[in-house]
Homo-oligomer: A and B are copies of this chain.
């Protein structure tokens, strides 16, 4: 038997058909126009799904369901998108609308939840029952797996881990509150912190690479990590502070959820000695539990952008 997983993004939709071993046997991407009504967009998604089923050569009776990961606050129980700023959707009855065209069972959840479920089913947290996953590329999103299932709290749009307090009276977050974790601990925030530090410290290696960039005002990711490797004081300080931001958030989530593992989707560097190791040390130091061997490890994810598709497909297992 097979399942369809869909990862809805702002500008594209990715579809995958997975087998019972969570292997993606068919995969496609569709670019999206954002100007359409939700009805037109969902009609297009339906056609894209039918096209994928057709092209994959899988018999209609061999498909058991369709799962969808969507950014924003999702009411999975009622199949609704409560609010998705990325898609500009408010109170969209997604499942009902898609059922106009498609007869399979359909499930929908937040995209970070799907990434977490995908990694638990077939990735870095395979066979673990309790996982906290953070997506932190631009904003900070949370996906929580509790007893093997997605934990969303009491109502749609729970598990907003990015919108917990990190710095009282700090930077104003996009949500309007000041000092949210999201405003400090995303990789995008790290870029900003690097840029600001370089501006303040013309003597640093950051600044050197900054000047090299012939008019381009942005310090490249590579330049930053090179400066860290060369033990530039300013770059090191920026990184340590950033690790303490992200680490403080993770300590909170560990104290609340006591997971088996914390997963980070898309780390800013592959070099574990520079990033994951000090982050693990930080979290271990400040976690509440007395027996520090109980503190869960923090690792990267394994499935990359396949996780969202696999997790979405796995939504229909329950």
Contact = CB atoms under 8 A, between A and B. Distances in A.
Interface of A: 73, 83, 129-130, 142, 146, 151-161, 163-168, 175-177, 248-249, 251-252, 255-260, 286, 288-290, 294
Given A248-B168, A251-B177, A290-B83, A260 B154 contact: yes
A159 B256 contact: yes
Given A155-B130, A258-B156, A165 B294 contact: no
Nearest to A158: B258
A51 to B, nearest CB: 34
A255 B249 CA distance: 14
Identify the 7 closest CB pairs spanning chains A and B, nearest first: A130-B154, A158-B258, A153-B258, A155-B258, A164-B252, A160-B255, A153-B257
A260 to B, nearest CB: 6
B288 A177 contact: yes
A138 to B, nearest CB: 17
Contacts of A129: 154
B163 A165 contact: no
Contacts of A168: 166-168, 248
Nearest to A161: B256
B251 A154 contact: no
A169 B257 CA distance: 23
Nearest to A159: B256
Contacts of A251: 165, 177
A149 to B, nearest CB: 11
A177 B248 CA distance: 10
Contact of A252 (B83, B156, B165, B289): B165
Nearest to A145: B154
A168 B165 CA distance: 10
A129 B83 CA distance: 23
Contact of A294 (B155, B160, B249): B155
